[in-house]
Amino acid sequence: MSEVIKLEIHSQIALITLNRPSAMNAINHEMRKALPEALLAAQANPAVRVIVLCGAGDRAFSAGADIKEFAPVESQAAYRQARLENNWIGAFDRITKPIIAAIHGYCLGGGLEMALACDIRVAQKGAVFGFPETGNGIIPGAGGTQRIARMIGLGRALDMVLTGDRVTAERAYEIGLVSRLADVGSLMETALQVAERIGSHPETAIKFAKEAVLASASSPLAAGLLKEIDLLSLLMNSNERLGIAIDFKEKSKK
């Protein structure tokens, strides 16, 4: 695949590793190309139920875009067009399988934007979150301004984006930026446990559950409620659901 992205399949779980530890897993051109490929390969693999995204090395999930690659653009119009055509972060939105970010160390800028594009964030104590973009003369440009506000609310999002101040793992947990905290040394164990738990549930129910919950971020309540009914209706006669109900009844008779 690529040196900078590792894809390993362990039973039902695809483990994708950002693999530039000497550069704090900073996102370079090669990574922007290889990461969508790895995500789509995991999506296409029928054995894979859940994807876990993590960073190599001891120091970072990812310190954001590779600053050493920052260069002038040909023109604003050409840059905008290139961004529309090559929206690498958009690959996350095409994945119907759950994606868990396992975060340790620095999770900054584009690194935080990748984490926000995942469905579940698990942080190891000591992790540090932040948007250094405004200090670098730009704004978060890989979905960060939109996803952070939906995740933690407008006021907290504006605080993080405008100040660039960093947030600890504990604070990230308090404000809902991450949903689980892991002790130092137990990050992957915790993330894999969450992945296994999800993988133990019927596959279509998980797919529809993700679709329904994510719809709440982009649809008015009435449309979201309709989607929920539609998806639930499709599941009502599934073999998995009926099998579970029959097993339950049999067990209660004994």
142 is a contact residue toward ligand DAK (CB under 6 A): yes
- In terms of CB distance, is 29 or 150 closer to ligand DAK? 29
Backbone angles phi, psi at 28, to 5 degrees: -105, 180
Of 8, 30, 74, 133, catalytic: 133
- In terms of CB distance, is 163 or 219 closer to ligand DAK? 163
Shortest Å distance, C-beta 108 to ligand DAK: 5
- For 43-76, the three-class secondary structure string (H helix, E strand, C coil) is HHCCCCCEEEEEECCCCEEECCECHHHCCCCCCH
By CB under 6 A, how many residues form the interface with ligand DAK? Answer: 19
What strands, in cross-sheet order, belong to the sheet with 167-168? 60-62, 106-108, 128-130, 167-168
Long-range contact pairs involving 161-165 (C-beta distance under 8 Å, separation at least 24): 161/131, 161/133, 161/134, 162/134, 164/130, 164/131, 164/132, 164/133, 164/134, 164/135, 165/130
Shortest Å distance, C-beta 204 to ligand DAK: 33
Show the site string, 78-97: x = touches ligand DAK by CB under 6 A, - = not.
Answer: -----x--------------
231 is a contact residue toward ligand DAK (CB under 6 A): no
Shortest Å distance, C-beta 46 to ligand DAK: 31
136 is a contact residue toward ligand DAK (CB under 6 A): yes
161 is a contact residue toward ligand DAK (CB under 6 A): no
Considering only the stretches 18-26, 195-203, 215-223, 227-235, report the one whose residues sit in contact with ligand DAK under the rule CB under 6 A: 18-26
Report the length, in residues, of the chain.
254
- In terms of CB distance, is 108 or 152 closer to ligand DAK? 108
In sequence order, the 6+-apart residues with CB closer than 8 A to the CB of 77 are: none
Q: Residue 102 forms beta bridges with which residues?
A: 54, 122
98 is a contact residue toward ligand DAK (CB under 6 A): no
Among 35, 50, 103, 108, binds ligand DAK (CB under 6 A): 108
- ∠ CA 38-41-42 to the nearest 5 degrees? 90
Considering only the stretches 9-17, 133-141, 168-176, 224-232, report the one whose residues sit in contact with ligand DAK under the rule CB under 6 A: 133-141
In sequence order, the 6+-apart residues with CB closer than 8 A to the CB of 114 are: 18, 27, 35, 53, 62, 89, 92, 101, 142
133 has catalytic annotation: yes
Residues that bind ligand DAK (CB under 6 A): 23-24, 26, 63-68, 83, 106, 108-110, 132-133, 136, 141-142
Residues with a catalytic annotation lie at: 113, 133
